[in-house]
Structure 1
């Protein structure tokens, strides 16, 4: 990727710094999509020794690029996202990826395909991290920022995304314990 192409790609990706999510930070401001991706990447780095057979660099790459489509559509919470939203986001993202240099384009398309199919251990770990990070962030935020449906979601969401791994299942249970404690403190 030549320097001009890099700057042009970064000018698109930079939008995620200002694209807010429905989650809040522990200090009470909306979290950005870029912050979510960064925290996912940090999680992947921290858990790498739990998965010595995994290409953790590939997981990290998935974490970095997974929400680039939101440069074009903004963040739509998972509980509001429709098939039409998904198609629109994928179309806009693919149009942008087609403008990238061949090597980068092919690598990104390959990663997105793997992420979508969720057959490899790397893709399964990435998807679990994506879901768990949102739950962790909700637990970090003030409970007054939670929408009504998030009380149930924080207790049940992502159970199906961790069942392939004992470690991630244990992590999910610890997150659930934190959620129960947070909810009980509210009462």
Structure 2
């Protein structure tokens, strides 16, 4: 065979085209997380998205990896990436509005199935299993992911340009049943709670000053 008859290596298929197409289809649907808004605000006052939150949660997990003995970092990062995928369809429900009988978990499970439907079977099962693990807190990695999820949310509240009347006190009890279950989570929680109490005190002081000037 002459050189001009040999297949061009650059055109060789590294992945089955159908598999690749299904992955891209899923990815395009998951992009809705970029437009799924949460109640928290960024430092500039923009409402943050679920994608914003998931990215920073993954970054936090990566930075803490060397201090988390016995934790599989790859699995931890996978959990951080997929834990809120269903919100691409259901939207976010702020924690103060959640309740055990609100049907949210069933809606999110159904939404996740719909979202993952285009994926190849192996990837669909992998994503669904990760989300189930996260929800049940059935592994050391899911406990850390869930605890850091709470902490990342509270950290965002501390730097966010939140609207007047934002309830910082809610953070002092938010997710404590999770963050109390690991030493590193407890340590971080203690620091975040201290910062939250200072923020509450500052808000009170600012409110008092405004009332003095307006009187």
Q: Please, what TM-score do these two structures have when normalized by structure 1?
A: 0.92
Deviations 1:75-134 (A, max 9, x none): 111221343222112112113323320110121122122112212111100110111111
Pairing 1:4-153 to 2, within 5 Å after superposition: 4-82=21-99, 83-144=102-163, 147=166, 150-153=167-170
Instruction: Give 1:171's aligned residue.
Output: 188
Could you list the runs of 5+ residues in structure 1 that have no partner in the other structure? Answer: none
Aligned residues: 185
Q: Structure 1 residues 37 and 145, CA, compared in 2 at 3 Å: closer, same or farther?
A: farther
Give the secondary structure class of the aligned counterpart of 2:95.
coil
Distance in 2 (CA, whole Å) between partners of 1:30 and 1:152 is 20
**1:143 Cα deviation after fit:** 4.6
Q: Please, what TM-score do these two structures have when normalized by structure 2?
A: 0.81
**1:182 Cα deviation after fit:** 1.1
User: What do you get for the CA RMSD once the two structures are aligned?
Assistant: 1.6
Give the secondary structure class of the aligned counterpart of 2:141.
helix
4+ residue runs over 6 A deviation = none
Distance in 1 (CA, whole Å) between partners of 2:92 and 2:198 is 28
Contact 1:16 1:34 in 2 (8 A): yes
Contact 2:87 2:108 in 1 (8 A): yes
Deviations 1:26-67 (A, max 9, x none): 111000110000000001001111113100111110110111
Could you list the runs of 5+ residues in structure 2 that have no partner in the other structure? Answer: 1-17, 206-215
